[in-house]
Amino acid sequence: YPAGFVYIFLGLYYATGRGSDVRLAQYLFAGLYLLHLLLVFRIYCRTNKVPPYVFFFMCCASYRIHSIFVLRLFNDTVAMAILFLAINLFLDERWSWGCLIFSLAVSVKMNILLFAPGLLFLLLKRFGLLGCIPKLCICALLQVLLGLPFLLVNPVGYLSRSFDLGRQFQFKWTVNWRFLPEEVFQHRAFHTTLLLPHLAGLGLFALHLWHRSRESILTLLKDPAERKPPSPPLSANNIIVFVLFSSNFLGVCCSRSLHYQFYVWYFHTLPYLLWCTPTAKLAHMPKVLLLGVIELCWNTYPSTACSSLSLHVCHGLVLLQLWLGTA
């Protein structure tokens, strides 16, 4: 893992008596869980899209999420809590601080990079090409500073292992590809093939859903003062959250493998993705049912061909309603 993970978990190691006081570690992660929920709720409060009863399901109905936070103590939870702090800063128009905290989240686990295409789009939209560069430099500089002790000793080893894009996953832990033969799952060509729908999805969303101006998407490279106002107008908060959450969701849908702890990567974004589109009164129940089926898929251990296929169908339905509801 990247350097931020090392520092945070080294601190936890010493805080818990060199890892011997597991109960204290669980209390610390329970506190992290509550902070995580507060940050998520603040985002949902600012966007005002999700009906209040959905928060019950977010807090109380997911055994798997409780386990990931307080029983397993995974670093995915730390990375996502920091990420939601960054999104709150973006909503407050504190873009430099937000980029710094976003980079800190990346330094804990690189799954946060799934949000990066959306963040790049938002930075270009808000600042243009020249104004975007300093924000990207903030992200890069923090990675260098945190990784400096390791980069000075073994730069190739640190970069290749901490940000290993070619990592092989074990078939026994996959939640989303159980219906495939193991030799297909492990094949490099399969991993490369998944990049195509991921990049295509990002391109289609950027062109047709994220970019809501009559001008070409290339106008994002201009200074914002030189552009025409977007049409139709949308809430700035909802633009930020929709772009970041959908960017991450596309990456999850095309992931080479989803392990059980990866559920926290997108669990708290699902209600927004389901309710950000106009919803008729009778359409609420299918969305709640969709959340329930996704939860059931993630609580099936070991995963089965049926649970994996069901998860893909649910993901496809979420993408379909995003495409039809926001186009």
CB 233: neighbour CB atoms within 10 A? 9
Residue length, the chain? 327
Residue 128: partners with Cβ closer than 8 Å, 6 or more residues away: 220, 221, 222, 223, 224
The pTM of the full predicted model, rounded to 2 decimals, is 0.95
What does each of the 327 residues of the chain score in pLDDT, given as a tens digit? 899 999 999 999 999 999 999 999 999 999 999 999 999 999 999 999 999 999 988 998 888 999 999 999 999 999 999 999 999 999 999 999 999 999 999 999 999 999 999 999 999 999 999 999 999 999 999 999 999 999 999 999 999 988 887 778 889 999 999 999 999 999 989 989 999 999 999 999 999 999 987 788 888 888 888 877 655 455 789 999 999 999 999 999 999 999 999 999 999 999 999 999 887 766 789 999 999 999 999 999 999 999 999 999 999 999 999 999 865
Residue 117: partners with Cβ closer than 8 Å, 6 or more residues away: 202, 206, 247
CB 259: neighbour CB atoms within 10 A? 17
What are the extents of the domains in the chain?
Answer: 3-162+170-325
| Helices and strands (DSSP H and E) totals, the chain | 14, 0
Strand, helix or coil for residue 169: coil
